[in-house]
């Protein structure tokens, strides 16, 4: 969806760099994500997407650059900044032996949400994902798509301003991927959440999305998908991706 660039950025990344020993994983990375914007972080495997997410969520600390969430410097005020994020990591993190409700109640408690309010929020988010009838099932009984839906519900319980999703559709079938992409688009449009969706899959990019193309740790393009394609004279976003990265479009 299009977003007014005059809107203050929910997430600002400026001059971000990170290395694993002598190997640079990110170099001079900068971009912004605004309220109501679905922004795709598009890059091949190894481009630096997961490293970037690790820095934004403070799993790693960057020696270079700045990250701000609603104007809060993540290095100086990590607590308030992190509290405004919801995160779906690439690797599943649900407790398989707990029920859906138990997993979500535990997460709500970590955010200081009382049980009564937590149950209201759980019911609301599971209902939006058509998962309400599964809240008493153990997570190990769910398929991969349903587990991802639970993780998205969990990330939204505390009503964050910023939703980060790192390759959330890996391993899912095409219809399930489409459903989840559509749901997160609706979250951005209806709730005004700033969304950063990392993927290497071209078919998850819609014409109205904002796109950051990340390759070898550097931003190669940043803007509206349709505009970037037009400016480059490319056939489509897959052709643009191929030109910028030398990777065959997935």
Cα(210)–Cα(237) distance, integer angstroms: 11
Can you tell me the distance from the alpha carbon of 213 to that of 16, in angstroms, rounded to the nearest whole number?
15
Give 71-103 as a DSSP string: TEETTT-HHHHHTTEEEE-SS----TTSBHHHH
Q: For the chain, which domains are there?
A: 9-84+161-245 (3.40.50.300), 96-159 (no CATH)
Q: Which tokens is 202 given?
A: 């071209």
pTM over 0.85? The answer is yes
pLDDT for 63 equals: 83
Concatenated DSSP letters for 215-233? ETTEEEEEEEHHHHHHHHT
The pLDDT tens digits along the chain (250 residues) read 445 566 789 999 999 999 999 999 999 999 999 999 999 999 999 999 999 999 999 999 888 999 999 999 999 989 999 999 999 998 989 999 999 999 999 999 999 999 999 999 999 999 999 999 999 999 999 999 999 999 999 999 999 999 999 999 988 999 999 999 999 999 999 999 999 999 999 999 998 999 999 999 999 999 999 999 999 999 999 999 999 998 655 5
Phi, psi of 41 (to 5 degrees): -95, 100
Q: What CA–CA distance (Å, rounded) separates 211 from 201? A: 12
DSSP 196: E
User: Tell me, what's the pLDDT at 2?
Assistant: 45
Residue 7 confidence (pLDDT): 74
Cα–Cα distance between 71 and 126 in angstroms, integer?
31
Q: How many CB atoms lie within 10 A of CB 120?
A: 12
Q: What is the pLDDT of residue 207?
A: 86
Give the number of C-alpha atoms closer than 13 A to the C-alpha of residue 103, restricted to the C-beta side: 26
């Amino acid at each position: 969806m299009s977003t007014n660039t005059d809107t203050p950025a929910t997430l600002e990344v400026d001059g971000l760099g990170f290395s694993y020993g002598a190997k640079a994983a990110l170099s001079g990375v900068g971009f912004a994500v605004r309220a109501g914007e679905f922004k795709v972080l598009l890059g091949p495997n190894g481009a630096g997407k997961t490293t970037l997410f690790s820095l934004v969520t403070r799993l790693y600390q960057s020696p270079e650059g700045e990250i701000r969430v609603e104007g809060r410097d993540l290095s100086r005020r990590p607590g308030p900044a992190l509290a405004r994020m919801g995160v779906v990591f690439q690797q599943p993190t649900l407790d398989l032996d707990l029920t859906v409700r138990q997993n979500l109640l535990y997460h709500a408690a970590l955010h200081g949400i009382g049980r009564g309010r937590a149950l209201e929020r759980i019911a609301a988010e599971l209902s939006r994902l058509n998962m309400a009838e599964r809240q008493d099932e153990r997570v190990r009984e769910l398929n991969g798509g349903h587990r991802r839906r639970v993780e998205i519900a969990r990330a939204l319980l505390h009503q964050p301003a910023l939703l980060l999703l790192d390759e959330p559709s890996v391993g899912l079938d095409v219809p399930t991927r489409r459903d989840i992409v559509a749901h997160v688009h609706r979250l951005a449009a209806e709730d005004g959440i700033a969304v950063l969706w990392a993927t290497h899959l071209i078919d998850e990019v819609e014409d109205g999305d904002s796109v950051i193309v990340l390759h070898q740790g550097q931003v190669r393009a940043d803007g509206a998908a349709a505009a970037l394609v037009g400016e480059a004279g490319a056939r489509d976003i897959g052709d643009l991706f191929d030109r910028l990265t030398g990777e065959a479009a997935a």
